[in-house]
Amino acid sequence: MARLLGGIEAGGTKFVCAVGEASGKVTARVKFPTTTPEATLAQVFAFFDQYEVAAIGVGSFGPIDIEPQSATYGYITDTPKLAWKNFDFLGALKVHYPAVKFVWTTDVNVAAYGEYLQGAGVGKQNICYVTVGTGIGVGYISHGKLYSGRSHPEAGHIMMHRAADDDFVGVCPYHGDCLEGIAAGPAIERRNGKKGHEIAPDDPFWQIEAYYLAQACMTYTLTFSPDLIVFGGGVSKQAQLFPLIRAEFAKLMHDYVRVPDLELYIQHVKLGDDAGITGSLLVAADAVK
């Protein structure tokens, strides 16, 4: 009987741990808040100690060090979550599970991989996955492979052309009014005095949000030239955003480059909240093939 595979979707707000099969099917899972490294890892270990796993795919919030030759490979680096800053996350996992193979990448990369193999990206080769929630992150699948350069993309921090009359200063502690600083969940709450799901679908604010997300789609289109752009994360659950984003994108792009029909090109995540944990299991499966 094949040994189980493990997946860890390590988000800045919550962790999801699962065991399952090479198909990506989850057989058991647990979810808990992201607190301190010590307390959070105690819960990770309590879950995986119950199972014998061959490999674990880890998709972590970041920034993280993904360069194997680096002295800080496997670390979470300059995160605003101070308890996790410069924490050797992968090293702690390897000490506890020395016989297990690990795949180490970003939380958005594993979600992108899940969508590529089993979600909106089935049949495509180049997938741009954008999560809009507590932060904004981008994972990219290039010709079926997780994309990275010297490090992983941090495309949630691109700078924005400001909407007319928008004087919101932004909440990003590093860049102020970058995309994450003016369009992620905390920015939405700071702007409106309430969370996104509490804002009426026809509120004029969503036009501003769509303008910035459409700008991001234009930048990712011109930079990566993907087959499609998939949005996940809590903010993207606002269904009214998608026609607004597509309309703004069409205006901004002005037919400069060809893209597929916008209903197909800019989509909501098909796997929903399971994209990340499914992708974690799938990259773990690749590690043991």
Q: Is-same-fold flag (4-110+273-288; 121-270)?
A: yes
- Give the burial string for 192-219 (b: 16+ CB within 10 Å, else e): eeeebeebeeeeeebebbbbbbbbbbbb
Q: What is the CA radius of gyration of the chain?
A: 19
State yes or no: pLDDT of 1 exceeds 70: no
Segment 74-93, tens digit of pLDDT: 999 988 788 999 999 999 99
Which residues share a beta bridge with 267? 230
For domain 121-270, say whether CATH 3.30.420.40 is its number: yes
State yes or no: pLDDT of 240 exceeds 50: yes
Across residues 158-167, what is the average pLDDT?
95
How many C-beta atoms lie closer than 10 Å to residue 108's C-beta? 32
State yes or no: pLDDT of 62 exceeds 90: no
**The dihedral sign for the CA sequence 146, 149, 151, 156:** negative
Across residues 65-82, what is the average pLDDT?
91
Domain boundary assignment for the chain: 4-110+273-288, 121-270
Confidence of residue 116 (pLDDT cuts 50, 70, 90): very high
pLDDT at 193: 97
State yes or no: pLDDT of 241 exceeds 60: yes
pLDDT at 2: 58
> Is the pTM here over 0.75, yes or no?
yes
pLDDT at 3: 80
Domain 4-110+273-288 adopts which CATH fold?
Nucleotidyltransferase; domain 5 (3.30.420)
